């Protein structure tokens, strides 16, 4: 990481975006009902589904790594879902900003991953 500060910064941003997306999905699920138990159930269900989907197919150490199109589809579903969730809880501008950050961050991450590592 010492020789690749932009890569390291983008990877940190990717991790933060993932956490924010998960939090937004929980928040959105929590906002969908009136009864507290149902709110908690919906929030936790959305969060759990996103975590399982991410861990299975998009995480760096996923057991099953589909082709790039599959990984990008999972990322679009989870991270894009987080941006949509922000819109859904009444923050359309924040959702649009998050969506833009997701697109740029993912594009940079895939670009950096395709470059060869610098010589040590």
pLDDT one-digit tens code per residue, 22-67: 999 999 999 999 999 999 999 999 999 999 999 999 888 888 888 8
Q: What percent of the chain has pLDDT over 70?
A: 92
In this prediction, residue 68 carries a pLDDT of: 87
Q: What is the DSSP letter of 63?
A: S
Residue 120: band (very low, low, confident or very high) from pLDDT cuts 50, 70, 90: very low
CB 80 within 8 A of CB 99: yes
Comparison of pLDDT for 36 and 112, the residue scoring more: 36
The DSSP code sequence of 78-112 is HHHHHHHHHHHTT-HHHHHHHHHHHHHHHHHHHHH
Q: What percent of the chain has pLDDT over 90?
A: 69
Mean pLDDT calculated for residue range 10-21: 94
Helix, strand or coil, per DSSP, at residue 105: helix
Which of 55, 24, 26 minimizes the C-alpha distance to 41?
Answer: 26
In this prediction, residue 3 carries a pLDDT of: 61
In this prediction, residue 60 carries a pLDDT of: 82
Query: Quick one: tokens of 22?
Result: 């998960």
79-106 exposure pattern, b = at least 16 Cβ within 10 A, e = fewer: bbbbbbbbbbbebeeebeebbebbeebb
Mean pLDDT calculated for residue range 115-120: 52
In this prediction, residue 26 carries a pLDDT of: 97
């Amino acid at each position: 990481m010492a020789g690749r500060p932009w890569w390291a910064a983008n990877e940190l941003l990717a991790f933060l975006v993932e956490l924010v997306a998960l939090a937004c999905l929980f928040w959105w699920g929590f906002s969908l009902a009136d009864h507290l138990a149902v709110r908690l159930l919906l929030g936790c269900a959305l969060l759990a589904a996103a975590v399982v989907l991410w861990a299975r197919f998009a995480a760096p150490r996923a057991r099953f790594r589909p082709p790039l199109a599959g990984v990008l589809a999972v990322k679009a579903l989870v991270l894009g879902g987080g941006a949509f969730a922000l819109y859904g809880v009444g923050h359309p501008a924040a959702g649009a900003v998050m969506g833009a950050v997701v697109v740029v961050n993912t594009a940079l991450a895939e670009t950096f991953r395709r470059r060869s590592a610098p010589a040590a």
